[in-house]
Amino acid sequence: MAPESLEHMTEATENQARKAMHMAQDFARDAGVTLDAWVADIREFVRAYPLQILAASIGVGYIIGKITRR
């Protein structure tokens, strides 16, 4: 294999790795923004309906407890 060919392959691989890294960073940033929005929505909902959330949590815990005992 010619040295020029090897250099070209190395550069192409580095470029693809950089592109993949940037895509992963963009995805992680977008996922963080989405997660922050979900957390804010959930907090707002819990503050608006605390007793209903407590009752639902107890119910879900009871059901999970029954399922795992089997």
User: What domain range includes position 61?
Assistant: 3-69
**pLDDT tens digits for 12-30?**
999 999 999 999 999 999 9
Looking at the structure of the chain, the number of domains it has is 1
If pLDDT is split at 50, 70 and 90, which confidence band does 1 have? low
Q: What is the pTM of this model?
A: 0.55
Residue with tokens 């795992």: 68
Q: Which residues of 2-26 are buried (b: 16+ CB within 10 A; e: fewer)?
A: eeeeeeeeeeeeeeeeeeeeeeeee
Sign, CA torsion 34/40/44/46: positive
